[in-house]
Amino acid sequence: MRFLFEDESFSFETLRAAGFANYGGSDLGEVIATVRNVAEGDEEAWLREWKATAERVHAIGSRALADGHRVSAREAFLRASSYYRTAEFYRRDDPANDPEVKLLSGLSRETFAAAAELMDTPVEAVRIPYEDTTLPGYLFLVDDSGTPRPTVIFTSGFDSTLEEAYFAIGAAALRRGYNVLAYDGPGQGAALREQRLVFRPDWEAVVTPVVDYALTRPEIDPDRLVLTGYSLGGYLVARAAAYEHRLAALVLDDGLYDYHDAHTHMMAPFLSEWVEARWDDLSNPVTNLLMKSNTQLRWALRNGVWAFGADSPADYIRRTVDYTLEGVAQLIDCPTLILDAENDQFFRGQPQRVANALTCPHTLVTLPEAEGAGEHCHMGAMFRFHQITFDWLDTTLAPATQPAG
């Protein structure tokens, strides 16, 4: 599927931004007006135009709030938050030290926080104890009654942020009576940008403290905890669930069995061999040459170097070796929903590998291109994704027996 661009990466990221319109994360006209001034593969124009749109919509929100128009302000702040995140997306030359990355990501967090204060349902910014620090999170509650409810613990992916969680799953969950506890783990959002925490393969070390925190909250039903992962999060939460057994259900969007294989199957065999042999004086120049003509590859490898704490593209690819469910998938014991996307080239075959390895009750659902849901994580078809996910959860979490009478 190509959406407003022929460039695969620009098309997907534009579809991602537009797809969040379902839950107030964008307005289609604003998306179209923004990208019409961006040429194929022009990362500088991408940042300039999305930043300008974000600033304009941010100003609309500020004026609306000053005039007492709370709903209009909330809607504008939500869109601005999403647009600031989108603007920063390709800024990956030196993101750890780039003032523009700091500015835009900070504004994305700031505008979302402003929107959260204006929401009709309770939203609480939380800090989750993790090792010798804390992780930033949001607890989205159905209401303020204190009633224990089923709760989704949401883990985002390779390039996602905490604020994106509301559009990816939070709003849909609240509509169906589920609370959501979302967080930035190492390698993600503010945990990467502000705390400089990088990804780790043993994600149970991240999820177990999050579950510990969740169980301190009276609004969260301890018997109906759902762990959900998005993109790379599909591996992260599966790995965590192999060791964290306080879960009622697991959702993988999409299933990812071996992150390293997902990279190497897209590479020429000679290049994979050079990377594995640590012939970086050969592999990195070739990789850098390939990156010049491929937006998706250039972004993915630069983001990987940053988020994994690597020294080079070759070093990043080697660090992905430990991100596998080999030898641990059979330890998952809760019912599991595995989603697949028909057009996802990077994850191709991975969801089926997860399904083949599981011994717990599990369901594999492939969403097709014919329904507009065939892109990675079903971008552009969020209603369909949420229908599949929450209908399955409603059934899975239903009491096995009904009380007498």
- Cα separation, 241 vs 223, in Å, equals 15
Known active-site residue 9: no
CA dihedral 339, 342, 343, 346 (to 10 degrees): 50
State whether residue 245 is helix, strand or coil.
coil
The answer to whether 358 touches 239, Cβ cutoff 8 Å, is no
- Cα separation, 169 vs 266, in Å, equals 30
CA dihedral 87, 93, 95, 96 (to 10 degrees): -170
Q: Of 82, 231, 272, 293, which one is the catalytic site residue?
A: 231
Buried b or exposed e, range 335-374, using 16+ CB within 10 angstroms: bbbbbbbeebebbeebbebbbebbeeebebeebeeeebbb
For 248-382, strand residue ranges (E) read: 249-253, 336-341, 362-367
Which ranges in 36-120 belong to alpha helices (H)? 43-66, 70-88, 99-116
Of 209, 161, 155, 167, the residue nearest 188 (C-alpha): 161
Distances 262 to 40, 76, 347, 348, 387 between C-alpha atoms, Å = 26, 38, 6, 8, 28
Tokens matching residue 214? 């969740």
| Active site residues per annotation | 231
